[in-house]
Structure formats: structure tokens, C-alpha cells
Amino acid sequence: MGNLRSVQKAFEKMGSEAIISNNPEVINSSSKIVLPGVGSFSDGMKNLREMGLIPILEKEILHNKKPFLGICLGMQLLANSSLENGKTTGLGWIDASVVPFDFSKEKSKLKVPHVGWNNVNFIGDNKIFYNIDSKSDLYFVHSYHFIPNEDVAISSTDYGLNFVSSVNKNNIYGFQFHPEKSQAVGLQMIENFLNL
């Protein structure tokens, strides 16, 4: 949903043949899989179910271990559930929940959604961040954030609270930020994903 063409263009800029598809045969023959998304969690899950994509994604990503990147909503869909529009069940590939930013009880002037450039602080040394400085600025647009219950966080960002801004579990990566909108740093992350 949302930002498919801009993600495709960023991958093409880094020399990849990027195909937008909901065809299981194309997904099966691909070397890597990217799930971008902008919009609501419930709509994202509804679209995946209605297109019949969950079984082929689980086969290729969980069983065949193809490198996978979820961007923004695509990262959030990895969780067990989200509180957006009531509680909605997610893919459950990472033991996590997705909850809203809530600054209503504070005297904070922070706005929701969190929109704009913000620092990403690396946790550990992950190959997806090769040739990138920790505390680099990346572009965010989101009202909900990802809370993992397992040790998968590879970066965090401060926005009223310290939230998880990227994850990695085996061959599965997720970015809450938009690498395709994050200029040279984001393109380097895309290149690093292509080199996995």
C-alpha cells in the first residue's frame, strides 16, 4: 500500500531489477522480498489476506529463508498484533505488538504522527548498516511504534520515548523509517540489503 513506486525507483537506482507484484510465481522466483507500506495495519493485513499472499510469503521467507525487508507498515505487519483501529492480528513473524504514540498525559508539544527527519541510533553491529554512521538522520512518517518481546532491535530513535526503529531476526529485516526517502543514507541501506 502507498509507496510502492518510490521504493521500486530507489532499488532500481541501486542497480536492482525491482518488480512490483502480487503474483506468487514472481514472488517465488525472486531473490529477495520487500514489503513496503503506508496506511493502516488492518488494511495492510486485509490486503495480504485477500490477495492470498500470506502462504507464499511464509514459504519463501520463513522456510526458504529469502532476505526480506519490511518498510514502515511493512515492518509493523511483522508483529503479532496492532492496536490501530481496534486490535488486529499481524503476521506474527516477530513476537511484538504495535501501539500508538500517546503524549496526551504529558506537557509535550510533540505531534502525532511523527513526521520528518530523526536520528537512528544503532544497537550492535549489523551488516545492514555497513558504511553508515550511527545517529544518521532518516525520514519517518508514523503514528504507531513497534514493541518487540524478543531481542531483535538493531536501532532506536528518540521521539518522546526511545522506540525501536529497525529490527532483524535471521533473514528478516524491518525499518520503521523510509530508506527510499532518506537520500544517500537510505540508498546505502538499500544497497546493503541487496548485498545480503
pLDDT tens, per residue, the chain with 196 residues: 567 889 999 999 999 999 999 999 999 999 999 999 888 999 999 999 999 999 999 999 999 999 999 999 999 999 999 999 889 999 999 999 999 998 887 767 799 999 999 999 999 999 999 999 999 999 999 999 999 999 999 999 999 999 999 999 999 999 999 999 999 999 999 999 999 9
Catalytic residue among 72, 114, 142, 145: 72
| Residue 178 known to be catalytic | yes
- Helical spans, DSSP H, in 130-182: none
Q: What is the pTM of this model?
A: 0.95
Catalytic residue among 60, 84, 142, 180: 180
| 104: its cell numbers | 496526551
The domain that holds 93 is classified in CATH as 3.40.50.880
Is the separation of the CB atoms in 98 and 92 below 8 Å? no
| Residue 180 known to be catalytic | yes
Range of the domain at 110: 4-194
| 196: its cell numbers | 545480503
Strands 172-175, 162-169: pairing kind: antiparallel
CA distance 120 to 100: 19
Catalytic residue among 114, 142, 145, 178: 178
CA 9 distance to own-chain centroid: 17
Query: What is the domain count for the chain?
Result: 1
Which residue shows C-alpha cell 541501506? 189
